[in-house]
Amino acid sequence: MMKSFARIGLVIAALGPSVQAFAAPAPRAFEPPPTLPGQGDVVRLEAAIAPAVGGCRPQGSISRSGAIVSVVLNFVRGHFFINNPDPTDPQPGGLDPVELRSYGGCKSGPAIFVKPGDTLRVDLINQLAKDDPSCLPNPPSGLGLPDLVGCFNTTNLHTHGLHVSPAGNSDNVLLNIAPQTKFPYEINIPNDHPAGTFWYHAHRHGSTAVQVASGASGVLVVKGERPYTPPTPQNPKPIADIDTVLHDDNGTPLKEQLFLFQQIAYACFQNQPNQPGGPWQQIYTTQGLYNANSPNNIANAPWTCPLATPGNPVSPGVVENFGLQLDSATIWDTNGRFTSVNGIVQPTLTLPAGEIQRWRFVHSGIHDTVNVQLVRATPTTTLIANSALSGNRLQQKADLLAACNASPGTLIPQFEIANDGLTRTKLRTIHASQVGGVLESNYMQPGYRSDVLVVFPSDGDYCLLNQAAPPAERVSNGNGGGQGPSTPQLLAYIHVRGGQPVTGDLEAYVGKALYDANPTLPDPVRTGLRDGDLRPWAPFENLAPPAAGSQQQQAAFAINFPAFTVNNKSYDPDVVNFTREVNTTDDWLLSAQGEPHIFHIHVNPFQVIDVITTNANGQQISIYNPDGTCKPDIVYADKQQLANQYCGMWHTFRDTIIVENNYQIRVRTRYDRYIGEYVLHCHILDHEDAGMMANIAIVPDLNAPGGGLGMAGMRHAKQPTATPASMPAGHKH
């Protein structure tokens, strides 16, 4: 039977995308991430974010008592469907059944909204099965687990980007929440915490990639209500939230959309009863069964989920085999799965012309870049107007290039106001200029967040694209992969209907709208807002340099297979790799060898001070001019076209950044307020699980015994011997 199925796949592939052997799937409406029951009582949702009619209702709840937000979050095996636009998909209606580790049983984790000063209490209930083959002392050989990888049903929780304590039952990723147990997290969000876009996801070392690739992630928004107030000598930098100026003339907040970009790598397995080596070894593809010994034509074939037949069982779509499904620089580009938006593949979003909206982008994938572009569709095409692209990614390519051709005349600008949850000091326009010979994209790596203002000038149809990476960007040890898709992918259809057309420059239109909507701001501040000056609302402007004589820290990522290392060491949970002192500042030098890696550090954000490359003469030079703009000669001389994604990052604050080959990133961070042990790692999560992680401990005093922790060397002063007469009544000697 398998040979018959393989022949069917070969025939379909040969005939190409015009084959209609199966009905084309119906358009799917854009759905925001689900919200937990009770969310409306937790925080005022001025932007009217709510689940679509018929959307998933997560298992769990949320409630508020004063400043305490209590969440019940169930970690379960969710049973649902993911839509597949390939008309040759054997599943009815193009809906692939999946069984994935999920928060609340939905395609994406529920969105959680909190405020500065809240205490977020999360009862994480791990309802997964104790029967976990990946956690046995000797796992089934067919799983092919690398060292350090396994225990896929054991979990914990990370609130990515929050500046909170890493200790105890706060944002502590050095915990193991075992199957069939419950753990009470208590995360105290300080009153001075920035408002912005953050996210949460599973982070138990060894199982992080499998769980996040299953969709175990969600958006976490800190809503801000602190208006601008003028500086004073006592408070030279008052806290103000960008949320408070993002409204129309009537004071109605701009509508918001949440985009959780997920790369759910589900595959359907043929699990024959009692097969040697255990389950999860044979993936169905259009070219036959893919396993650890498959030739390239099968290893690189798109995955499929056929209907079961006698003797050929078919599992639901799952993420269970680390080696086959995740541990490859190219597998996301070849498996045929789509980057989804809130768990929906290529949804349709409708909005009016001229309406300024705030879009919060969150990249929750584990490996591949998403190069976000907004492009006006070709007016003569009906495919975008009818939400009618069909086929797998390769089969859609010709239609997509014709319908959504990106050019200086079709690219719609994105006006970025925040990176990684932190408001920028200057609005950045991602527009139709060509940097290094390519049109600008909003380059998003796993872990990145980008808040953008968007406005569409007129009625028509538009494409939200994950633009193809230039071929040179896909070089990874000569094998390609990792820097974006080799062919563009449509992320969402954008239908613009009604509203008021906009003529003229869209950046000027957005600036004037913000200016007009905020007449009570002082004139210089209001004028600055119109011109993109966001400093009054940015939580940070510049960090002071480290103390004189401070040693620069280094994080060098490398793969010397099978070792995945930071500073030539694979992760050891029992070793503290860095010990630093609270309320001090360090400069770090980040580098990568062999292929790109993504630096992420918990708890404290960092400021990008400089990006350095080696020129043709072997000299180490900055890519930036003194004003922070990119040097054109450096960008254009970069044959791999890697430098352009660093343009716009100068002196910004982030918690995640890609480290490209032949580039060194110098960042500055202050270990503010919190002590405890946490981690830094590569946010290519299969790299992290395989060992590319290190522990960092922040202590009260580097010069004190034990770093100022514990009672090391402590001696009690001798007390005078008390006489019986001086003893208090009732004292027993």
CB-neighbour burial class of residue 235 (10 A; exposed 0-12, middle 13-18, buried 19+): exposed
Name the phi and psi angles at 725, rounded to 5: -70, -25
**390 and 17 Cβ atoms separated by less than 8 Å:** yes
Maximum pairwise Cα distance, the chain = 104
Identify the H or E element spanning 533. none
Asked if the bond preceding 562 is cis, omega within 30° of 0, the reply is: yes
Question: What pLDDT does residue 618 have?
Answer: 85
Name the phi and psi angles at 63, rounded to 5: -155, 160
Name the phi and psi angles at 11, rounded to 5: -65, -45
Beta-strand pair 653-654/606-614: antiparallel
Indicate if 103 and 59 belong to the same structural domain.
yes
Question: What pLDDT does residue 8 have?
Answer: 31
| pLDDT tens digit sequence for 72-101 | 999 999 999 999 999 889 999 899 999 999
Reading phi first (left if > 0) and then psi (alpha if -120 to 50, else beta), residue 391 is in left
Asked which of 503, 537, 571 is the last residue of a domain, the reply is 537
Indicate if 100 and 145 belong to the same structural domain.
yes
How does DSSP classify residue 345? S
How does DSSP classify residue 596? -
Indicate if 95 and 194 belong to the same structural domain.
yes
Beta-strand pair 553-560/585-593: parallel
Position with higher pLDDT, 56 vs 268:
268
C-alpha–C-alpha distance, residues 211 and 489, integer Å: 24
Neighbours of 408 (CB within 10 A): 10
Closest CA to 265 of 187, 198, 212: 212
pLDDT at 635 over 90: no
Indicate if 527 and 559 belong to the same structural domain.
no
In a domain, 264, yes or no: no
> Highest mean pLDDT range out of 6-15, 53-62, 289-298, 613-622?
289-298
Question: What pLDDT does residue 474 have?
Answer: 64
Question: What pLDDT does residue 52 have?
Answer: 47
pLDDT at 44 over 70: no
Question: What pLDDT does residue 177 have?
Answer: 98
Given pLDDT bands bounded at 50, 70 and 90, which one contains residue 24? low
Indicate if 32 and 109 belong to the same structural domain.
yes
Strands (E) across 549-605 are located at: 553-560, 563-566, 578-581, 585-593, 597-601
In a domain, 302, yes or no: no
C-alpha–C-alpha distance, residues 198 and 161, integer Å: 6
Question: What pLDDT does residue 727 have?
Answer: 40
| pLDDT tens digit sequence for 176-187 | 999 999 999 999
pLDDT at 18 over 70: no
Indicate if 492 and 638 belong to the same structural domain.
no
How big is the CA angle at 564 (ends 559 and 566), to the nearest 5 degrees? 95
Question: What pLDDT does residue 611 have?
Answer: 96
Which residue is it, tokens 């538009």? 462
Tokens for 593, please give them.
């060898």
Given pLDDT bands bounded at 50, 70 and 90, which one contains residue 20? very low
Out of 42-56, 74-88, 385-399, 465-479, least confident range = 42-56
Position with higher pLDDT, 535 vs 2:
535
Closest CA to 403 of 496, 506, 493, 502: 493
Neighbours of 721 (CB within 10 A): 6
To the nearest 10 degrees (0 to 180), the angle between helices 506-517 and 523-530 is: 150
Rounded percentage of the chain residues whose pLDDT exceeds 70: 90
Question: What pLDDT does residue 609 have?
Answer: 97
Given pLDDT bands bounded at 50, 70 and 90, which one contains residue 480? low
Indicate if 138 and 213 belong to the same structural domain.
yes
C-alpha–C-alpha distance, residues 15 and 17, integer Å: 7
* Helix, strand, coil percentages in the chain from 3-state DSSP, rounded to 5: 15, 35, 55
**420 and 605 Cβ atoms separated by less than 8 Å:** yes
Counting every residue written for the chain, the total comes to 733
Indicate if 483 and 589 belong to the same structural domain.
no
C-alpha–C-alpha distance, residues 586 and 551, integer Å: 8
Question: What pLDDT does residue 718 have?
Answer: 59
Rounded percentage of the chain residues whose pLDDT exceeds 90: 77
Beta-strand pair 217-222/112-114: parallel
Question: What pLDDT does residue 431 have?
Answer: 87
In a domain, 261, yes or no: no
Indicate if 629 and 525 belong to the same structural domain.
no
Neighbours of 282 (CB within 10 A): 24
Indicate if 656 and 523 belong to the same structural domain.
no
In a domain, 252, yes or no: no
C-alpha–C-alpha distance, residues 88 and 648, integer Å: 42
**269 and 253 Cβ atoms separated by less than 8 Å:** no
Asked which of 483, 511, 537 is the last residue of a domain, the reply is 537
| R_g over Cα of the chain | 26
C-alpha–C-alpha distance, residues 667 and 654, integer Å: 10
pLDDT at 327 over 50: yes
Alpha-carbon separation of residue 158 from 85, 155, 188, 204, 249 (angstroms): 33, 10, 14, 9, 38
C-alpha–C-alpha distance, residues 26 and 394, integer Å: 20
C-alpha–C-alpha distance, residues 33 and 304, integer Å: 26
Which residue is it, tokens 């992320």? 491
pLDDT at 624 over 70: yes
Tokens for 307, please give them.
């209907």
Given pLDDT bands bounded at 50, 70 and 90, which one contains residue 67? very high
Neighbours of 488 (CB within 10 A): 24
In a domain, 562, yes or no: yes
C-alpha–C-alpha distance, residues 264 and 214, integer Å: 5
Name the phi and psi angles at 644, rounded to 5: -60, -25
C-alpha–C-alpha distance, residues 196 and 210, integer Å: 27
> In the 3-class helix/strand/coil scheme, how is 609-676 assigned residue by residue?
EEEEEECCCCCEEECECCCCCECHHHHHHCCCCCHHHHCCCCCCEECEEEECCCEEEEEEEECCCCCE
C-alpha–C-alpha distance, residues 29 and 221, integer Å: 23
Indicate if 402 and 439 belong to the same structural domain.
yes
Indicate if 578 and 491 belong to the same structural domain.
no
How big is the CA angle at 298 (ends 292 and 302), to the nearest 5 degrees? 110
C-alpha–C-alpha distance, residues 455 and 635, integer Å: 29
| pLDDT tens digit sequence for 130-144 | 999 999 999 999 998
pLDDT at 253 over 60: yes
Given pLDDT bands bounded at 50, 70 and 90, which one contains residue 644? confident
Buried/exposed code over 92-105 (b: 16+ C-beta within 10 A; e: otherwise)? eebbbbbbbbbbbb
C-alpha–C-alpha distance, residues 302 and 331, integer Å: 10
Asked which of 226, 247, 268 is the last residue of a domain, the reply is 226
Query: Rounded mean pLDDT of the chain?
Result: 90
pLDDT at 426 over 50: yes
Handedness of CA 392, 397, 402, 407 (dihedral sign): positive
C-alpha–C-alpha distance, residues 126 and 243, integer Å: 35
Reading phi first (left if > 0) and then psi (alpha if -120 to 50, else beta), residue 291 is in beta
pLDDT at 481 over 70: no
User: Which CATH number belongs to the domain containing residue 475 in this structure?
Assistant: 2.60.40.420
pLDDT at 374 over 80: yes
In a domain, 592, yes or no: yes
Count of domains for the chain: 3
In a domain, 231, yes or no: no
pLDDT at 527 over 80: yes
In a domain, 306, yes or no: no
C-alpha–C-alpha distance, residues 189 and 67, integer Å: 10
pLDDT at 382 over 70: yes
Tokens for 147, please give them.
């060292």
pLDDT at 658 over 70: yes
Q: What residue numbers bound the domain in which 65 lies?
A: 27-226
Beta-strand pair 347-353/28-29: parallel
